[in-house]
Every structure is written in structure tokens, then in C-alpha cells.
Structure 1
Amino acid sequence: MGLEDDLTGMLAESVHELSPPVSAMVAEGKRAGRRRLKIRRSLQAVGAAAVVAALVSTVAVLGPRPGGSDTVQAAGPATGAGTGSSAPASVPSAGGAGRGGSSTSPSPSPSVPAEPATADLSWQAMLKILSDLLPPGAHLGNLDPFAVKFRTGADARYIELQYNDGHGASTVMVEVSRGGRPSPVTCENWGGGSDEGTRKPGYEKPACLFEQLPDGGTLRSFVTGTDVAGLYDEMVHLVRPDGVTVSVTAANATLDQYTGQGGLPITVTRDRPPLGLAGWKDVARSPKWQFKVPQSVADAGVAFARTVSRFPCPKDAKKADCVID
């Protein structure tokens, strides 16, 4: 897919009365709403100032991504994404079977009532949930406050940061949303599998998979084509029966700080994104992604977020644009 198609997709976001075929083309060009972030970087790098200015006026969320390299280790071991925690096994009572005597049945453990979900899902809670769902040894850092600020709303929560599993950092994006229009993109009309840059032998092949889940939800998974820098994504898009959508994107690269010195602010760090599609499916299907969470999760998120490094605010943005605490 050419750069012209990507620009058409970005500029068409503000048009709400589109016919279905045009909507499908727009969705394809946006790479499910994420690739526009990378395309603007490319435009900046080649000095397309006039086009960038037009994009800024049309899509407020687009902006240069500042960067850094500090990472922190995510707290906690991995949990089984997509399943609830197992109940503890019942413990036999102290009055067990005596020698030559009668035995008593183990006393059932009293059930612990679940903590009510009374707190709003915050970006801090999302960080903690994500860290708990990742394998042991995960490192999270370089949270992008600018992206968090402008992609968070009444019906959307968003985080964007770098995840390093020890084999190269990856920019990861997680969005939890509700009430949006159904995406017109299907595997039949998806056009995100073409390469603009080099696809190395170790890269995954472009793919689109659609699954109808037993609970009535749908799951779409993608391996995208490469962009001009050689970056490609693994993407998972879950639509649940309760109307909540969970989207996860992981790259084989990092979106770095744009310095204005030329060159692409993208670093390809590995042949394949971490976890793989199966792993990101498990992350997306975790029942922990809810708009209301227990207060303990919200509190743990605030504490964990203090340990996660952040990108500085972009030079062309107001400081208020990066205030998320």
C-alpha cells in the first residue's frame, strides 16, 4: 500500500458520513488506527513539512514521539491471561484421620467474596494489568504520555510504551474502548499485508485471521506488511459480547524520539515482535480489561506507574498536553 493511501486514510478520519466501501479503505490505510503514527514520522524525516501541518490540523493525536532508553522490570509473575485465578485448594482440618479411629471430612474453605469493581480503569491500572499478564522478567518503560493523553476519553483507555523481553525492545499499544462503530475490515478486504520496506527472511509472513468465539465475541489477528523502515506489527482486535473492544499492537521495533536531525525515528530491534500472536491473543482476552476495576488494582497501578520511565513531552506540544497524572 502506498504512502498516498495512508494519507487518505488519516485525512478521512474526520469524515463521518462515509459509505461502507470507503470506510473499509480508510480502515485498511490506517492499519487499524495505528500506522498513521509511524507514517507521520516518515514524513517528518523526509521534510514533508506542508503535509505534516495538514495532518496536525486534521488529526490532533498525531505528534512526534520523543524517546529514551530507561526501562524497569514489570512486577509480578505472569498470570493466565483469559482465565480467572484458580481457587485455593481446600485444606484438611487438624482433626484428620486418627490411627484406628474414625476420620472427619475436611472443612470446606470459606469462599472469599470478590472485591467489587468500583474504580475507573486508569492508564496506571492498565500498566499494572499488562505487567501482570506478561511473562516473568518483562521490562516496561518509555511510556508515551502524549499518546496516552490524546487517545484517552470517556469511552477509551490507552497506553503506549516499550516492552523488552530480553531480546529487543518493542513498542506496544493497548486500547480498551466501547461504543465504537463496528470495523468494516475483514480478511477479505484487508489491505495491510503489502510491504513498503524490506522483509527479512526471519520476519513473519503477512496474515489475517478471523475467529468467531464461543461466547459470541469476535477476534481478528493480523501480521502486517513492513513500512519503509522495515517495521511490522502483530495486532489483535477483540470485540466482546458486552460491547467492549480490546486492541493490542506489538512491533518488531521501537518508535523513538524525533530529533529533527533527519533519518527515521524508528529502530528495528528484532525479527519478530515478542510473545507472538498467540500470546497477544491471551493478553487481549484476559477478563481483567474492564472499565471498572477493584480499588486495589487502581492503587497498585498508581504505585507501579511511578517506576515506569516516560518519554519527555514533544517539543512542539504544550506541557499540558503531556500531563496525565
Structure 2
Amino acid sequence: MMETCVKDLSVPVSVIVAESGRRGRRRQVARRLRIAGTVLTVAAIAFAGANAGLPLISAGPRTGANVGPADRTRPLSASPATPTAPTTPTAPTAPSRSPDPDLSSSPDPSAAGDRWQQFPLPAAPQLGSAAASRTGSATGSPVDFTTYSVLKDLEKLMPTYRNRFTQGAVFRTDRPGEGSTVHLDYTDEAGPVALELSLHHSKVPFPAGGASPDPDLAPFRCGTNSGTSDNDEQGCLSGYRPDGSWEMVAVNDAQVPGLFGYRVVIWRPDGTILDFTEYSGTVSSKGDPIRSGRYRPPLDLTFWRSVTESPIWTPYLHA
């Protein structure tokens, strides 16, 4: 069921590229106007690379059958010639599908006063619930964002693959120094990859009245490929979700040079930021990248969005 829902949600890469390019051009125009002293601002949509796209494919982890050397030469937007049926993790509850956003009618920031810039990707299938989290008591008291608690909730979201999660090596990226960051490894037939899950509170006030955050002042931003991962695909989109939170999705190797990854960031109106990244390799105890030979991370982007967007993280506070 999860597989069917996610396949139905796939968006043509050409549509994403066209939408991102259109928003990027408006952003450049608005920057010139802002420098000239006008009051015009634009939405924080950045798309690096004119021909890159965000991969939206089947649900769940990839198996060893499609992560070998041949996969490294496959464009991110291309489909395998003879695709194998993906294995879909068993969710605690059947995922529900929200209506697909109409990209052609997304708000025009320059015409609408930079208000309510809709996130330009369909909603990912929902995994888990706040009630399923390790809330600590029947009253739903908050729980600290620790390795143990996060690991247990990931196992709830993906019970079929619960034995694939282990504690990983600690390494530093550009995450804020304050807050909590959990490092895990996810290991399948192709070897381990690093997962970096961070929760912290923004020092920048959440935008009021549906205004889009200033990209120069936002507590996180799109990264730029390091060029050392043998993967030139990159992309970055952001916008408001239906629940009023702000989401950014980035595809690049900006966090750990040499390790290509999918990054999903959720900025809630209360200031809480969930910043989850999965990589295509792992790191040594010294923080050096260890490549696995994968072209992409094992959990596809749509499924990784489902993990990050899950209500299961609602009761968490940073340690």
C-alpha cells in the first residue's frame, strides 16, 4: 500500500526543474530590487544546477540489486531499464495520501507580497503518530532527543528493518552547536550509511503572517555540492506545509564532502527545527568519509520525507 501511494505521488522531474527555475529567476530580480531600496522580497527557493532534479521514486529502502556500480552512472531522474520490485517497510498504520499540490497555481511571491509560498512537492505518506512516540507517560510528557529514544522510534516507523539501525560515529557538519544531534548507521546488503538527525530551537523568529523567511537570515539554507562525491545531481526546494511549518528538501553532498545525501528540514512555528540527513556512505571514527559505492542513499527521498515529517517526533525536546 505504501509503495502504491508513493508511486502515485511521483512528480515529473521536468516539472520540478521548471518550477524551481521560475522561482529562482524571480528571486534574482527581487534581490536587485531590494538592493535598490525597494520593499519587495521573494520566497526562499534556491535551485542550484539548471538540469538537476529531486528524485521521487518508490517507497522504502533500496536493495543491493540496484546500488551496484551500474547505478552510479544512472541519472538521478532516470528509471532502471528493468526495475526490481522495491521492498516497502511495514508502517504501524496505513499511510494516507493528501491531495497533490497544484504546482501551476502556487502563489506568486512577487504578486502576493511574498506570502504563503506553498511547498512545491506533494505531501509524503504519513508514518507513525505522536501517540506512538516514546512520550514517557500516559499524559504525553516530553521526551529528550537521545540516541536511545530516536533509535526506538525509527524502529517503530520501520519495524521490518529494525535490526539495520545501530549507533554511528559522531561527526560534525554545519548543524548549530546548540540542541541535540543523533548519529546512527543504517546497514543493508550494500553496507552501512550514516544517518544524522538533529533537533534544536531556532534563534531566528519564525516568520509571522505567512511571510517567507529571508534566505539570508533563515537558520538553515541550501548547500552547494563539494564536487568530491562523483555525483553532480543537486537540488533544493522549500515552502510552507499545510500545517503551517516550513520545509526544505536538499539533495547534494554539502554536509559531508564526498558523501552524497538527502536532507529534509522542518521548521515548526514554535521554533523547533528537525534536521534529518541520510548519506550514501558513512564516516570513520575520525570523521573521514567512507564511500560505499552507492550513487544514492538507501532510503529514497519520498520515504525519507515521510520519516522526517512523521508526527512521532512531536513530543520531543532537545536534550
TM-score by length of 2: 0.47
Larger Rg: 1
